């Protein structure tokens, strides 16, 4: 029997261990690694080559949405299932556009998880049943504005989104520069571009925006 290799990326230890315990009970699924944040998840995918990644959407250092974008650019065939407590159309559609193979609401993950992994592994998409209609409705609305200019986070580059999250998490420019292997002046340039594109000034407003958009959560 060929096993499906799964990487679990979730910053809450209890939730992560619970997911792993659930997966360990399946004879055709092998948990090959556990990541505590999006940046670690990207590195572990490169090292472990899993078939499927279970990706929490809100994690420190690099959120699941941006980790998904980075991974799909490097590994187009990788299957990524998003885990989230958010059920709003914006979150769901944004992750699907990032390249995710499916979206699972955490409250129903224990009942949907195994099926979702098998579906994603086959190359198909999976959505928690209680959000399917929301995705269809949101998709129809978005199709009407396909030619519109990018809005909000879509205006930012991948690196600008990383910088925004780290700013919102309270990191100083020097810390951000060290984490991303860039100079403090480059961080300043990214910050200026972010503020210009989002029409937002100041760390407090950037942090508020990042929380609203789900890049970070209260209590990070």
Q: What is the pLDDT of residues 61-81, one digit of tens each?
A: 999 999 999 999 999 999 999
Specify the pLDDT at position 201.
86
Classify 4-143 by CATH class: alpha beta
| Average pLDDT of the chain, as a whole number | 87
The structure's pTM equals 0.76
Specify the pLDDT at position 147.
45
- Pairing mode, strands 4-9 and 29-35: parallel
CB 23 within 8 A of CB 6: yes
92 pLDDT higher than 70: yes
* DSSP line for 53-71: EEEESS-SSS-HHHHHHHH
The domain limits of the chain are: 4-143, 152-212
40 pLDDT higher than 90: yes
Percent of the chain with pLDDT over 70: 88
| 152-212 topology per CATH | Arc Repressor Mutant, subunit A (1.10.10)
Task: Examine domains 4-143 and 152-212 and report if their fold is the same.
Answer: no
Return the minimum-mean-pLDDT range out of 42-46, 96-100, 170-174, 184-188: 96-100
The per-residue pLDDT for range 25-38, each reduced to its tens digit, is: 999 999 999 999 99
CB 127 within 8 A of CB 100: no
Distance in Å from the first CA to the final CA of the chain: 41
The residue-averaged pLDDT of 134-147 equals: 55
């Amino acid at each position: 029997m060929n096993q499906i290799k799964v990487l679990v990326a979730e910053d809450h230890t209890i939730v992560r261990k619970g997911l792993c315990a659930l997966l360990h009970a399946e004879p055709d699924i092998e948990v090959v690694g556990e990541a505590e944040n999006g940046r670690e998840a990207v590195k572990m995918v490169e090292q472990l080559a899993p078939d499927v990644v279970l990706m929490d959407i809100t994690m420190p250092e690099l959120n699941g949405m941006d980790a998904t974008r980075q991974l799909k650019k490097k590994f187009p065939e990788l299957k990524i299932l998003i885990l989230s407590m958010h059920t709003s159309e914006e979150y769901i559609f944004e992750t699907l556009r990032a390249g995710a193979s499916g979206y699972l609401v955490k409250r129903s993950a224990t009942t949907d998880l195994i099926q979702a992994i098998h579906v994603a592994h086959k190359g198909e998409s999976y959505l928690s049943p209680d959000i399917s209609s929301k995705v269809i409705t949101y998709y129809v609305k978005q199709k009407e504005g396909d030619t519109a200019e990018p809005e909000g986070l879509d205006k930012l580059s991948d690196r600008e989104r990383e910088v925004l999250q780290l700013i919102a998490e309270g990191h100083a420019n020097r810390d951000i520069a060290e984490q991303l292997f860039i100079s403090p002046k480059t961080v300043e340039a990214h910050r200026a571009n972010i503020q210009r594109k989002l029409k937002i000034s100041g760390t407090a407003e950037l942090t508020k925006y990042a929380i609203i958009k789900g890049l970070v959560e209260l209590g990070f």
